[in-house]
Structure 1
Amino acid sequence: MEDLTSYPNEAHGSFSAVPELSDEELLGRFADGNAVAARLLTGRLGPRSYSVALRMLGNQAEAEDVTQEAMMRLWKMAPDWVPGQAQISTWLYRVTLNLCLDMRRRNRPDALENVAEPEDESANVVDRIQDTERKDALQAALDQLPDRQRQAVVLRHIEELSNPEIAGIMDISVEAVESLTARGKRSLAALLAGRRDELGYEHG
């Protein structure tokens, strides 16, 4: 199969301009041998998997590996997918999170690598440096959270999923999601509190 995994360079909507086709319909067409359906579904779901993996791992190369593995598992299970049993995006988020946990267990502790971010050419050098430091500080703080708190915070405040969606992905109650998110936010605030002046945050 051709390589369809250039996730970091694809916007969420790059290949998804066919709203009449659901994720399930695209997966079904792929299972029937339609390569275009695979390309469309990759463009729709691949960036979401990559975004979560990048924040969970703080390492671009590892996030790409996780995303490729998650998508490969999706293709392998496509012929056995039972329509209506769950949302494909929910399944993919769950697989992505589990792969991230496996990789962290294998590779940590190690040095946190910088997260590659597109540069804003309109920003001056000082602003760009400060913006990079803020992103790195957030990533470093996320990396110190317990796994479940980090998952909930990433899905809620970075991926902007609803609490019921997160509950389905993490296989916990909505109340548990709310608790994990609240604790995670408090922990992040505490971890970042001492660097507010250094990073140029406004005092609130």
Structure 2
Amino acid sequence: MQNLNEIKKDAALMRAVAAGDQKACREVADTYLSISYRLAVRILGDTSLAEDMAQEAFMKLWKQAPDWQAKAQIRTWLHRVTHNLCVDQLRKQKRFSDDEVPDIADPALGVIEKLEQQQIDDKVTEALQKLPPRQRIAISLVYFEECGNIEAADIMELSVDALESLLARGRRKLKDLLLPARRLRDGVM
């Protein structure tokens, strides 16, 4: 179950947004816009389209502010809206894009480590884009957006068992897709 204190805190924040409090608006945007964008990039594989989806999700959030009810965290609500917008977009496209996901480099890593990590990230992103959309979304929510299974199932409007099944199939498929790259990296034929 979602943290009741977070839900109450978010409800107060949304009341401030509805009242036109610029500080509250900035706080919501600074905290949640990147979360919405990251999820959209992982689902769509297209950075410019992900920007559009994140902006559209935020437009819905701003419009929702006066009617906000303390039933969910902003993050959960925004994940669901972003998810739904991206799924609608995938249905419109009837195709999938393999554009690269931008990665923020860890400043503690050296140049060689950064390159190696980027190669790994690229392979994972490429493999992730080859998964069926529902498996990709489930894995993105749980492993990249750090949603719990209950929250991710709620966002995807699935039972927890159905989500766990998607995760299991997605992990197996990712393992199969990434195994050749790992063998090549380790020099195993």
Q: What displacement does 1:186 show?
A: 0.6
Residues 13-71 of structure 1: CA distance to partner in whole angstroms, max 9, x if unpaired?
xxxxxx8x711111111111112111111122222212211211223222222111111
The amino acid across from 2:53 in the alignment is: V
Are residue 182 (structure 1) and residue 168 (structure 2) matched? yes
Distance 1:193 1:54 in 2: 24
The amino acid across from 1:61 in the alignment is: S
Contact 1:156-1:166 within 8 A present in 2 as well:
yes
Q: Give SS of 1:39's match.
A: helix
TM-score scaled by length of structure 1:
0.78
Contact 2:13-2:24 within 8 A present in 1 as well:
yes
Identify the residue that residue 27 of structure 2 maps to in structure 1. Answer: 40
TM-score scaled by length of structure 2:
0.84
The amino acid across from 2:77 in the alignment is: W
Q: CA RMSD in A?
A: 2.5
Identify the residue that residue 30 of structure 1 maps to in structure 2. Answer: 17
The amino acid across from 1:67 in the alignment is: A
Q: Give SS of 1:194's match.
A: helix
Q: What displacement does 1:86 show?
A: 3.1
Are residue 170 (structure 1) and residue 156 (structure 2) matched? yes
Contact 1:23-1:41 within 8 A present in 2 as well:
no
Are residue 142 (structure 1) and residue 125 (structure 2) matched? no
Unaligned runs of 5+ in 2: 1-5
Query: Larger relative CO (CA 8 A, sep 6+): 1 or 2?
Result: 2
For the structure 1 residues 61 and 202, does the alpha-carbon distance in structure 2 shift closer, same or farther, using more than 3 Å as the test? farther
The amino acid across from 2:56 in the alignment is: E
Q: Give SS of 2:102's match.
A: coil
Q: What displacement does 1:142 show?
A: 1.0
Matched residues, percent identical?
41
Instruction: Give the total of aligned pairs.
Output: 183
Q: For residues 72-91 of structure 1, what are the structure 2 equivalents within 5 Å?
A: 72-81=59-68, 83-91=69-77
Q: Give SS of 1:61's match.
A: helix
The structure with more helix, counted as a fraction of residues: 2
Are residue 151 (structure 1) and residue 173 (structure 2) matched? no
